[in-house]
Chains A and B, each alone.
Chain A
């Protein structure tokens, strides 16, 4: 059994260990595709590890897709340790798919240097509490329900996650811009190519959360800077 030598295997204890940031990190460091292969559902040594893994990879794929990566570059598959042939087939198919796409930035929505910037933002967003907590609650909300006993369907959970992804990416994009120097909402909007009212809304929300503060007023527009966040 032969398979391509272009891959690099990273061994983990369980697909549940695949943190969403790991995937983003791989792309930031120049990987052209990431494939997660784990045990079949029901075969998990940790009972639900692979279910968690699928959700985490799914989330990472959505965030990366949202910032401009071709979703075909991320894959989640299942293959037991006894299914060597299946593994070879999966690897070969994925490898062929990536070869068709070419290197990072060629069949994606953004070309390379910009894409990397966005991937960095995605990595930050994936590493923050919001998305991680919602992902952690995913199975609980779908099976046991929330504190009010409301159960959500998978479809609804993903839809809610999608809106959170949009919010988070926009938020960390803005914070990424503000890291360098303070700026008015209009300038940030121009640099990020976003509608100014949209940016203002996120900036105000950040201010409310105590992450951004007023730096000064420039003509008619207020200038914002990052606030020093004290531990609660």
Chain B
């Protein structure tokens, strides 16, 4: 009986690990690195995480988890609440509706596919921010962050793959 309870807790803890890793990454992304001009172009880590888990283990990255991640990120970053949530949900919708394409893709192909997905999400964020602000925002910073995000994908995807091997069986 006791064994059964621990076993079940173990399974729950393991299935929560994608969510926990993503929340931790969002916090780590905020640590001041004392490097000039890095803050504005730091990659959108949550975007990469949600994409990766939505492709590889969709049952562990549910819409509820995505909502929680987006809300946490929006509240912590001080940006407009809801904008990040909608962008992450868009990633979920794209991956979910095109599951056939994503499920068969290799590591490199997933990186290539990530580029348009991230572009759509960042574009939505820019659009919603413009709407909330009531004026057109500079495109430059968004473009830079988009490029660093796409560039950071393989590195983080490799990390997630290791986590997937160790934590989730």
The answer to whether A and B assemble together is: no
B residues near A, CB below 8 A? none
